[in-house]
Every structure is written in structure tokens, then in C-alpha cells.
Copies of this chain bind each other. A is one copy, B any other.
Amino acid sequence: TQNYRITLLPGDGIGPEIMTVAVEVLKVVGKQFDLAFEFQEALIGGAAIDATGEPLPAATLDTCRNSDAVLLAAIGGYKWDSLPSNLRPEAGLLGLRAGLELFANLRPAQILPQLIDASTLKREVVEGVDIMVVRELTGGIYFGKPKGIFATDTGEKRGVNTMVYTESEIDRIGKVAFEAARKRKGKLCSVDKANVLEVSQLWRDRITKLSEEYPDVELSHLYVDNAAMQLVRAPKQFDTIVTGNLFGDILSDAAAMLTGSIGMLPSASLGASGPGVFEPVHGSAPDIAGQDKANPLAQVLSAAMMLRYGLDQPKAADRIEQAVLQVLEQGDRTGDIISEGKNLLGCRAMGHALIQAL
């Protein structure tokens, strides 16, 4: 038996309900593959603010550090929106990324044939789309200094943030991206704004240099405005995309929305060593929280990513992904992905369907 200590961060809104389903699925798969999971739950986001006054209590970070992987659900909600920004749920998420040095964020956007009609794009444009966005997650304008709101000589205020990348930061994310592209279709598109930003010029230079070590990967470059356009125009041209923190935030969401069903999309955030964090791309959906309406599949697929990228158990990951495809194949749908002639299930019932499929 292989033992794993998993930290669960259910967070806010629909977080707890979808987490429950993912844990059930993990338990079943654990038995099948002889994996013993020890789950420990910790507070983050709004739930942590309510309980402790802080979005990321030190105890949570400790618990995460002492585990093999972290499964996160979702954070945030209207309730905490008026707090000062360093005390808001989002600060907990940014603190977790920084605290665990999760510099590489993998965000797949894949069209599932069963859900292709959910896309707002024409079938022939999105059929077969399978994009992996590799986003730098602990640098760039999210963390650069100076930052803040300062008074100027004339008495007016001035807001400032700084986009910074060092060569080593670019190299380490670049390596992750080239390795990912190599395991996929061997195409990597690096996105920057090198025609305007110096930080992007350094980015482009380093990625180009790095490509010498990956002669088997075909590298291209796009400016971020053009990349946003090309995602809408012809998304099939993309295989793997690598970009900085802010551009990755924007483009991974645009890419996700091409699928029409962000309730289906997982993500992985990885560091050089130590536990990774695995979480759905969607938010905490406070409007449907506690109503057994949420789609747990992105959370379940995040658990699969955890098995694949965090615990090196690709077979168990495959099993979960197959179960998800199977329930879709048999017509089971939550409200966000329902279409005519399909079976409408709640969150719990979808969980049961998955267990059956396993």
C-alpha cells in the first residue's frame, strides 16, 4: 500500500459539496489501486476569514507543507468583497501559491465530444481543441515591487504595480512548458508583448535560447493581443502555450471558455519540490452554494490531475478520467451542462454516478 497525506481545502460557496464528491471518488480509486489517503482538512479563503480573521492562517500553510498534495475547491464570495484586499479570500490563494512556491500552473482546455454543443463557437472551429496553458504563477505583475497606491507631489494618488521577471524565473517555467509540449503534440507557443514591454523582450530571448535544448519541440511566439484573437479565430492551431502570470490569467480563461463548460476544467499548480495544489478553474458560485446543484466534475478531474502530476499515479488518474467520460457518455449532466434529452443530476447524484462508473 502506498500512503499519501492529502490536504483538503474546501473553501467557500460550492467548495464543500464538490470536495465531498472528489473525496468519495478518491477513496474508491484508492481501494482499486492500493493507495491509502490520509485526508486532513484546513481553512482558506472566506471560511478562514470568518473563523480566524485571515484568508490563509499559518496553520493551513503548515498543514499543506506537511502533505503530499493539496486539493483545493474554490474561494471567495460577495460576503468578503468589501474587505481590504490583503484580507480578502483571493489573498489567501495568492499566499498559498507564494508560500508553496507553485511557479507552474497547468490549465488544460479540452473540448469533450459529448459537450461540444456547449461551446459558443461553431462545431468545426472547436472540434478537437486540446490546449494546455502553462502559466507562470509566482512572479510577474502579481508579486512585483514596488506596488501600492502612493501620493504624488501634486497631491493626487498614483497606483503602481510592477511586472518583473528574472532570467531564472523565465527558465524554470520555460522548462516545464517545453517538457509538457514534448509529452503532447510537440508544439509550444510563447505569448508575450515584446513589441512594447522590456520584460517581454527578456522573456522572448530566454525562451528562444531554451528552445535549443528542445530541438524536438516546435517553438513559436505571439503577442498577447494576437494570441487572444487567434484563440477566438482558430483555436485548433494551439497545442501548448507558455506565458507569464497576468497574460496566463487572461488567456487561460479565454481558452477555458472556448469549451463552453468551465464546470469541467481542472488545473494543477506545481513547485520545484513539495506538494502541488490541484483545483478547478471555476469559482465558488455563491449563488448556488448548498443547493446540491453544483457540477463536481472539475473538482473530480482536479483529483485526477493530483494523481497524475502530484502523486505520479497516472493509472489511477486515467481511471477517474474514464469514469467522467463514461457518465457523460451515458447522458448524465448537472444543470450547467444540461441539454435536451439528457439526465439532469444534482451534485451528489453525479457523485453516485461516478462511483458506479468506477
Which residues of A line the B interface, CB within 8 A?
A: 85, 88, 90, 94, 120-122, 125, 141-142, 144, 147-149, 152, 156-168, 193-203, 224-226, 228-229, 231-234, 246, 249-254, 256-258, 260, 262
B250:A147 contact, CB within 8 angstroms: no
Which residues of B have CB within 8 Å of A232?
Answer: 120-121, 232, 254, 257-258
Which residues of B have CB within 8 Å of A160?
Answer: 144, 162-164, 198-199
24 pairs, A vs B, C-beta closer than 8 Å: A85-B194, A85-B201, A88-B195, A120-B234, A121-B121, A141-B141, A141-B196, A141-B197, A147-B197, A157-B167, A157-B202, A158-B165, A158-B167, A159-B164, A159-B198, A159-B199, A160-B199, A161-B199, A161-B200, A162-B162, A193-B249, A228-B228, A228-B253, A229-B253
Max count, chain B CB within 10 A of own CB: residue among A152, A166, A168, A226: A166
Which residues of B have CB within 8 Å of A201?
Answer: 85, 149, 159
- Nearest residue (CB) in B for A171 is B156
**Shortest beta-carbon contacts, A-B, top 10:** A159-B199, A159-B202, A225-B253, A232-B257, A228-B254, A229-B257, A120-B125, A156-B167, A229-B253, A90-B195
Q: Please, how many angstroms separate the alpha-carbon atoms of A162 and B161 in the complex?
A: 6
Min CB distance A265 to B, Å, is 11
Given A158-B164, A159-B164, A229:B202 Cβ within 8 A: no
Given A90-B196, A120-B121, A159-B203, A250:B228 Cβ within 8 A: yes
Min CB distance A340 to B, Å, is 15
- Nearest residue (CB) in B for A167 is B156
- Nearest residue (CB) in B for A152 is B166
Given A85-B201, A160-B164, A196:B253 Cβ within 8 A: no
Instruction: Tell me the number of copies of this protein.
Output: 2
A253:B233 contact, CB within 8 angstroms: no
Min CB distance A273 to B, Å, is 21
Q: Please, how many angstroms separate the alpha-carbon atoms of A144 and B150 in the complex?
A: 14
Q: Please, how many angstroms separate the alpha-carbon atoms of A17 and B108 in the complex?
A: 43
Find A198's partner among B88, B90, B149, B152 (CB 8 Å cutoff).
B149
Q: Please, how many angstroms separate the alpha-carbon atoms of A197 and B120 in the complex?
A: 30
Min CB distance A45 to B, Å, is 12
B257:A233 contact, CB within 8 angstroms: yes
Min CB distance A170 to B, Å, is 8
Q: Please, how many angstroms separate the alpha-carbon atoms of A160 and B199 in the complex?
A: 5
Which residues of B have CB within 8 Å of A231?
Answer: 254
B197:A161 contact, CB within 8 angstroms: yes
Which residues of B have CB within 8 Å of A88?
Answer: 195
Min CB distance A285 to B, Å, is 13
